[in-house]
Chain A
Amino acid sequence: MSGLAANARVVRALGARSIRQTFRRPQLISPIIVFPTLLLAIQTGGAGAGVELPGFPPVQSFLQFMLAGSMMQSMMLAGNSGGIAFAVDIEMGFTDRLFSAPIPRFAIVLGRLAGTAALGLFAAVWFLAIGLIFGAQIEGGIAGALLAMALITASALAVGGIGAAIALRSGSASVVQGLFPLVLVVLFLSSAFFPENLMVEPARTIAEYNPLSFIVEGVREPIISGIDASDTLAALAAIAGIVVLGLVLSARALRHRLRVG
């Protein structure tokens, strides 16, 4: 078997393990699906009248507008949950056993990230399905839905890289779990839940420069109006930036983990 095929097998096996682990533990799956779905329902019902505010972009409904935000929330929490599960593996010595196995170290991290990306895809499909069931239209059609799913999957991979880096560096599940509030802060300070121009200062200015806002708009445009090349490119650039950051942090954290054991 070629080296590449063997590595792909390792990544696939670890990715599948990570997905099974998430679905078996309520404390891992619930932040990804239950909380964002609950918040989607509450925010749509509670702040839905906001579409009547002057300056709100033309949308079919507030649910249609909110789908991108819920997908982002779910994706970010999938990255966080992936980091927690990775840290638990480190605490329990499972990762040490993998490090001593004849497999490349990057495949161990990539396996975890593959699982996180698959959960991101699951979240995108889940929220698009909820949107369609409750009457939201996907203006970009099938191509628009596929684009939104692809962007969320890539974002999960990128954010998962940062979660994995923190897990490798700290080796502590409680440290990674402590990032949960930070995830919410970053989300609230983006245009995930309301149009940037209608947010209150200083949230509005921060949201303008928050990379997550670019990703949200890239995911939202195909849903509320159709595919827009400039929004898609901006989203891809933001994702690429987070991927690079995650790679650098993960590589450094992996070196640190191998050094300290």
Chain B
Amino acid sequence: MHDEKANTEDTILFQPIVQTGKRFYITAMVLLLIIIWAFYAWIYQLRYGLGVTGLNRPVFWGFYIINFVFFIGISHAGTLISAILRLALAEWRRSITRAAEAITVLVLFFGVANVLLDLGRPDRALFVIKHANFRSPLLWDVTSITTYLTASSIYLYLPLIPDIALLRDRVSGWRRGLYRTLALGWRDTEKQKKRLNRAIAVMAVLVIPIAVSVHTVVSWVFAMTIQPMWHSTIFGPYFVIGAIFSGIASIIIAMAILRRVYHLEDYLKPIHFNNLGLLLLVMTLLWFYFTFGEFLTTYYGAEPTHLSVFYSKISGRYSVEFWAMVLFCFVIPLIILSIQRTRTITGTVIASASVVIGMWLERFAIVVPTLSNPRLPYERGLYHPTWVEWSLMAGCFAAFFLVYMIFTKFFPIVSIWEIREGRESALKEAEKRIKTYLPGKVAEIETARGETK
């Protein structure tokens, strides 16, 4: 294993860890400044209360809850996609799973952070455990997100172990100690490999229902209420689809950035973007199907309270956000991703950026119009987010980018051992597997083609 070739091979994947350039520090400093600014906004909010936001009665929820749903949605990128691709034995997954899984774990913290930002009394956040009322969908959220964070952290960590061991044997200084501890005595033996592969397979299966449950429960926070256009049975699957949709889009964007910054052209090839682009296209169509179904049902049923929310989106105060959402979530990605000529790296990245913006607008179009149009005819709500909300949103994005950048400085963002495993055995295995699809027994096909073992 540790021959000359193995040592020089994949050096580019170790590069970000052993060497850090000026550009990294400059970017980190800029992000840090944004985070400090957001921190100031947060202190300001803590001091004066939620009155410094644009929230009011009846629009009790705004940016923070929108961002909560948005970030939890993004987190469906990694674990779910990576688990599905692993279980489906999609060979092209090898160079993208790590980048995706890291998004999941890291972005989840910002989902949770936004709930804390939204609380009037963040000092009492732990009351949800101390005085837990399990009738509340918020408690279901606490439960499923905690489970998800645990499971996806394990799912990120397990495939990291062999890579951490590789790093342990490469670096010196204080980091060597860190990697030695984290590598858990990995020596790359057959027995260890077998155990690890089994553990990864078990986690991949476990993590799928957990991921589905998380976004279902997030949707239920809205769907369990009796508010018009929230109280909808379609919300569970609609949110799961939306989450995977924005998740895939964010993987594509992350991959494109990593490819450029760390020169991973040889690992993240146009074919990866093409394949993920096709998945994104499927999700685009599914998203439209759900959205269309939801709006047509509301329109046809024509209940006045539902219609007032409906029209505030279609032609009323929130029509700009609504139609921008349709443009960004459906029209732009559909056109770019349907045409093979535009399904390039640049094309998929543009489509993905469009989807991420569109999905943020979707969450806005779900949260705000319903609250602005309450059942009883008193004055309609207005919502104008303030600098505090914008700052905290910018801060969350900046902090996520920063922790993701730091992650790439400690761990290989492309799974090295899985790439090597692919090189060594995947081709043979794939050939063998394809043979099992064909009529007749594997051995017979081989003899028929004049092959000998």
Question: Are A and B bound to each other?
Answer: no
Residues of A in contact with B (beta carbons under 8 Å apart): none
What is B's interface to A at a CB cutoff of 8 Å?
none
